[in-house]
C-alpha cells in the first residue's frame, strides 16, 4: 500500500523534460569527465548556466567561465574516473551520488565523494549544477 501511495505521488510531478533525457544528460556529464572532453561537457549546459562547486563557493556563471573553471581544475596531466553510485530524477532535476577518482601525473590520486544537484531547462540543457562535497569527502 505504501509503495502504491509513493507511486501516485510521483505521477503528480510535472516536467518540461522527460526523465530519460535528464538521466541521459547526467550520464553524459559524467562520461565527459572520463573522456576528458570539456567541449562536449560544456555543450550539455545552457548559455546562462550557474555552477557552484562546491556549494558555498563563488558561483561560476556562463559557458565561457565554466570552461575556464574546468581548465584550472583539470590541468594538462589529469585524469578523472567517475563511478555513479545512485541517480535520482524528479521532474526537471536530478541528484547524482558518485565517486570521482582524480589522478595527476607525478602527484598521485584521490577519490572525491560527490553529490551533484542538476536542474535542467525546457531544452534539456543543464542550467544549474550544485556540487556538494567537503573535506571529509576526499579520500
Among 66, 33, 35, smallest CA distance to 49 is for 66
Active site residue 121: no
Q: Are 54 and 131 in contact (CB under 8 A)?
A: yes
**Hey, where are the domains in the chain?**
2-137
| Measured distance CA(75)–CA(107) in Å, rounded | 12
Q: Which CATH number fits domain 2-137: 3.40.50.10470, 3.10.450.50, 3.50.50.60, 3.30.200.20?
A: 3.10.450.50
pLDDT confidence bin for 11, thresholds 50/70/90: confident
Active site residue 134: no
Q: What is the pLDDT of residues 58-88, one digit of tens each?
A: 999 999 999 999 988 887 788 999 999 999 9
Instruction: Identify the active-site residue in 29, 37, 92, 105.
Output: 29
Q: Burial, 47: exposed, middle or buried (Cβ in 10 Å; 0-12, 13-18, 19+)?
A: exposed
Among 14, 25, 31, smallest CA distance to 126 is for 25
Q: What is the pLDDT of residues 86-122, one digit of tens each?
A: 999 999 999 999 999 999 888 899 999 999 999 999 9
DSSP-derived letter for residue 135 is G
Amino acid at each position: 500500500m505504501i509503495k502504491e501511495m509513493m507511486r501516485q505521488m510521483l505521477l503528480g510531478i510535472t516536467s518540461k523534460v522527460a526523465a530519460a533525457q535528464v538521466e541521459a544528460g547526467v550520464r553524459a556529464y559524467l562520461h565527459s569527465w572520463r573522456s576528458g572532453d570539456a567541449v562536449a561537457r560544456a555543450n550539455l549546459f545552457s548559455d546562462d548556466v550557474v555552477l557552484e562547486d562546491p556549494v558555498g563557493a563563488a558561483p561560476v556563471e556562463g559557458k565561457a567561465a565554466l570552461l575556464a573553471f574546468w581548465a584550472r581544475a583539470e590541468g594538462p596531466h589529469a585524469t578523472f574516473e567517475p563511478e555513479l553510485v545512485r541517480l535520482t530524477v524528479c521532474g526537471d532535476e536530478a541528484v547524482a551520488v558518485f565517486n570521482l577518482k582524480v589522478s595527476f601525473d607525478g602527484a598521485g590520486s584521490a577519490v572525491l565523494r560527490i553529490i551533484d544537484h542538476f536542474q535542467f531547462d525546457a531544452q534539456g540543457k543543464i542550467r544549474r549544477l550544485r556540487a556538494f562535497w567537503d573535506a571529509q569527502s576526499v579520500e
